[in-house]
Structures are given as C-alpha cells and as structure tokens.
C-alpha cells in the first residue's frame, strides 16, 4: 500500500462563524491612517527597530553600528561578563523558569538573596520582587488603595502608576509637573475626605530628566498624614554618590519614605520590579498582592543578573560618577549648541524639545543616517508642542560620542526647521 492510501481523511470541521475582525474597530482604523500619513510624507517608523547586539553606548541595527542614546543600560551592566556568568550559572542550577508562584513551588534561595540586596541598596528593612516593573506599580497601588482613598500624582507620572490608581478605584488628582505648592493645595482641600492618601512621584522623571524636592515631599506627606511612593526606575544607580537613589542625593533617611519602588530592567540589567520598605509592607504584599501571589516567581537567570548587577553597583561607584559626568557634559554641550533640554538636571535622561511630532520623527531618522540612535516621543505621549527626542546617557558613552551627538542634533534640527516641513506646515 502506498503512503497515500494509509492516510486517514481529516475530520470535517463544523462551519464556524468568522472571528471578529479587529481591523473594523475605529481605534485600529485610526492607527492605520496615522501610519499611512507618515508613509505618505516619507517619515520612516522609528519604533520597533530590532537591535542585533547588547544595546549600551553602542548598538547594531540592520548590520550597521550606531552610537546609542536609546537604552536604559545606565551603568553598562547588561552585557557585563560577571552578570552574564551569574545568569548562566543560575540557569544551569535552577533551569530557565521556576514554573510556579513563589507561594507554592516557585521559591528559590536566589529570590531572597536579591531582595536582601535591594533592601540594603535602599537602606530599608526589606524588599519584595515582581516579574515586571510595570506590574509592580499596577499590583501594589491597585492592591493597597481603594475607593475611599486619594492618589496624588505628578502629571508626568509613569503609566504604570496611573494604571494602578485606576485599578484601586481611588480618586486621582494630578498636580502640574514638579509643582509642590499645587500638591500642598490639593492635600489641604482633600485630605479630610479620604481614609488613605498616596503621593506618587518619580525619583528622576523619564520624560523631563529632572527630579522632585524629596525633602519637601517628606515634610508634606508627614504634615498631611499621607504615604509617599517614589518610583526609582530612572534614579537607582544614577542619583547619590553611590547610586543609591534620590534619598542618598538629598541625604534623607530612606526609612522616612513609606514605599520605594524600582525596576530591575534599567541599571540592574535584568527584568522585573520591586517594592522596598518596611518588613510589614513587604510581608503583606507577598501574602496578598495579586501580581505576586498569582504570578510566577522571577526566572532564575533574571534574579541572578539583577543580584550580580547590584553587587557591581556597590563595588564600583565610579560607574555612577562617570554617568553623572557624561550627563552633565551632554547638558552643557546642548545648552552651548542652543538646544532646548527643558528642565533636565543632566543625569540619565536628557530630552531635546523639538515642539513638532513630525519634525521630531524626521530628526530621529536624520540622526540614524549620521549613525546615532535616539528615539522621538511624540503626541499623544507628550503635548504636541513638547514633542522631543530623548537621549539616555550611560557611563560608557565617550566625550566624543556625546559631542558628536549634540553637534549632529543641532545641525540636523536647524536643517529640518529651515526646510519648513512638519505637522504645523501640514496643517497650514
């Protein structure tokens, strides 16, 4: 018998109604139109470009090398030999996944070692980790606060905190960026109506690159009996002489802040997030926060990479000093070249405000031609007149890379503005 004869006929599938076509959703149609408009005016999509290397001060895209100002690898630890070796050793010992929530069968010694190291870095009693930085804010805020509570956030606060507030069902008020007078007015007129009040700020803002007055924030939250959450995603490894973050920068006792939040995906060269604070807070979250209890424990290589990175950060404060010196160098050169860097303090994040979404995308594409990778942030992520390129600085950038990036940005931006194209021109 031939092979064909022995084949059994496939069972006949019942006639199914076609699945819903998401292309018919108005939101999906709008996205398609935006892309078509960008194609029409010849602006290549700067997003989702695949990097073929460990992205740090340099990277590789489509076989070409670039000076890279688009990665949060602030201290050059992603790709560090010791970090890779630690991740490899943990994989050999524990496998690539712990395959269960830590509450049941997912706990490994390396989880507690990492949490102890994070608590030490922040100078607080304990820490607990989640598998994502975004999920850390969503699950912690969504779980700790409820409909009787109030959440006060800087208007530039990260999406994960906004999503956490939404999940909590608490009342949320934004105060203008960095405006602690406005925050105080909100506290004075709303505090008495709520059970708990949470003030949420970033240790260093990922959009503007500046940082809040922590001293005044601590005084305010004490006066109004509120909790303070500081998201150190962009300030751990950056602020303070040893990179311990904004508390070290201000010389403030970290135990006076209720909730320290951080991500493992930036300075610590891994993936995941954490809360650091009192033992009572961490114990409670580990026993009850849905994003912890009902999610898998952190993958062993990721826990090991973050732990090794924390060790290097402690041993080599010189990396923090180099990052700061690079940031300040970039900021000074940008000011001399007449670029608008907004309120950036010149550390890990430096925006160059362009003020037009299309011109910002054109600038990013022109810089790619010069071998420089920096990404635009455009409307609706920021107001149209605040459309920008963001430069992320690392300790491994050279003075020459920084000076060339600033010079090319100034030159290309002047060319683009002189050319007169952009969103404003299209609308006229």
82 burial via Cβ count (<10 Å: 0-12, 13-18, 19+)? middle
Binding to ligand PMP in span 104-133, by CB under 6 A: 132-133
- Strands of 57-139, DSSP E: 58-61, 64-68, 126-130
Q: Which of 68, 129, 153, 265 binds ligand PMP (CB under 6 A)?
A: 265
* Site track for ligand PMP across 132-151, x = CB under 6 A: xxx--x--------------
Distance of CA 384 to the CA centre of its chain: 21
DSSP reduced 3-state for 232: coil
Q: Closest CB to ligand PMP among 310 and 333?
A: 310
* Site track for ligand PMP across 306-335, x = CB under 6 A: ------------------------------
Catalytic residue among 80, 221, 234, 397: 234
Q: Phi-psi bin for 123: left (phi > 0), alpha (psi -120 to 50), beta?
A: left
Q: Closest CB to ligand PMP among 140 and 206?
A: 206
Q: Closest CB to ligand PMP among 295 and 359?
A: 295
Distance CA 373, CA 392 (A): 10
Catalytic residue among 266, 295, 309, 397: 266
CB of 180 to ligand PMP, least distance (A): 19
Query: Residue count at the site for ligand PMP (CB under 6 A)?
Result: 13
Q: What are phi and psi of 229, to 5 degrees?
A: -115, 125
* Site track for ligand PMP across 341-370, x = CB under 6 A: ------------------------------
Sheet holding 388-392, edge to edge: 349-353, 388-392, 375-377
Distance CA 310, CA 73 (A): 13
The upper half-sphere exposure of residue 210, i.e. CA atoms within 13 Å in the direction of its Cβ, equals 12
Binding to ligand PMP in span 201-260, by CB under 6 A: 202, 206, 231, 233
255 part of the active site: no
CB of 390 to ligand PMP, least distance (A): 11
DSSP characters over 336-400: HTT---TT--SSSEEEEE-S-HHHHHHHHHHHHHTTEE-EEE-TTTS-GGG-EEEEE--TT--HH
Establish if 297 lies at the interface with ligand PMP (CB under 6 A): no
CB of 265 to ligand PMP, least distance (A): 3
Cα→Cα distances 151→54, 197, 272, Å:
38, 6, 24
* Site track for ligand PMP across 149-168, x = CB under 6 A: ---------x-x--------
Strands 171-175 and 150-154: parallel
Q: Closest CB to ligand PMP among 224 and 347?
A: 347
328 part of the active site: no
Catalytic residue among 206, 235, 270, 348: 206
12 part of the active site: no
Q: What are phi and psi of 332, to 5 degrees?
A: -65, -45
CB of 135 to ligand PMP, least distance (A): 7
Q: 352, 388 in Cβ contact below 8 A?
A: yes
Residues that bind ligand PMP (CB under 6 A): 132-134, 137, 158, 160, 202, 206, 231, 233, 263, 265, 273
Residues with a catalytic annotation lie at: 206, 234, 266
């Amino acid at each position: 018998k031939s092979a064909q004869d022995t084949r059994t006929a496939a069972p006949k599938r019942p006639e199914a109604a076609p699945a819903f076509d998401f292309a018919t959703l108005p939101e999906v149609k709008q996205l398609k139109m935006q892309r078509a408009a960008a194609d029409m005016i010849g602006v290549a999509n700067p997003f989702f470009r695949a990097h073929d290397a460990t992205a740090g001060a340099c990277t590789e895209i489509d076989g070409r090398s670039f000076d890279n100002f688009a990665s949060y690898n602030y201290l050059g630890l992603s790709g560090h030999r010791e970090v890779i070796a630690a991740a490899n050793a943990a994989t050999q010992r524990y496998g690539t996944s712990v395959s269960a929530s830590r509450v049941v069968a997912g706990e490994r010694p390396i989880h507690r070692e990492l949490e102890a190291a994070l608590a030490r870095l922040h100078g607080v009693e304990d820490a607990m980790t989640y598998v994502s930085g975004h999920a850390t804010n969503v699950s912690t805020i969504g779980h700790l606060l409820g409909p009787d509570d109030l959440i006060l956030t800087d208007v530039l606060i990260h999406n994960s905190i906004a999503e956490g507030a939404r999940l909590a069902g608490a009342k949320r008020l934004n105060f203008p960026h960095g405006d602690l007078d406005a925050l105080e007015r909100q506290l004075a007129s709303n505090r008495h109506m709520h059970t708990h009040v949470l003030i949420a700020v970033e240790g260093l803002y990922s959009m503007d690159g500046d940082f809040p007055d922590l001293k005044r924030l601590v005084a305010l939250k004490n006066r109004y009996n509120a909790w303070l959450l500081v998201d150190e995603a962009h300030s751990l490894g950056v602020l303070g002489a040893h990179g311990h973050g904004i508390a070290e920068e201000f010389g403030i006792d970290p135990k006076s802040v209720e909730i320290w939040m951080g991500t493992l995906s930036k300075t610590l060269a891994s993936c995941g997030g954490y809360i650091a604070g009192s033992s009572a807070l961490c114990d409670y979250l580990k026993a009850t926060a849905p994003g912890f209890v009902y999610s898998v424990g952190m993958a062993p290589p990721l826990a090991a990479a973050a732990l090794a990175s924390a060790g290097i950060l402690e041993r080599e404060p010189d990396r923090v000093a180099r990052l700061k010196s690079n940031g300040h160098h970039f900021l000074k050169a940008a000011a001399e070249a007449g670029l608008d860097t907004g309120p950036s303090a010149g550390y890990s994040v430096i925006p160059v405000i362009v003020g037009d979404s299309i011109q910002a995308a054109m600038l990013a594409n022109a810089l790619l031609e010069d071998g420089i990778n920096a990404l635009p942030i455009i409307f609706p992520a920021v107001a149209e007149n605040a459309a920008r390129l963001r430069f992320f600085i690392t300790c491994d950038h050279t003075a020459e890379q920084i000076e060339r990036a600033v010079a090319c940005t100034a030159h290309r931006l002047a060319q683009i503005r002189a050319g007169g194209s952009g969103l404003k021109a299209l609308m006229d």
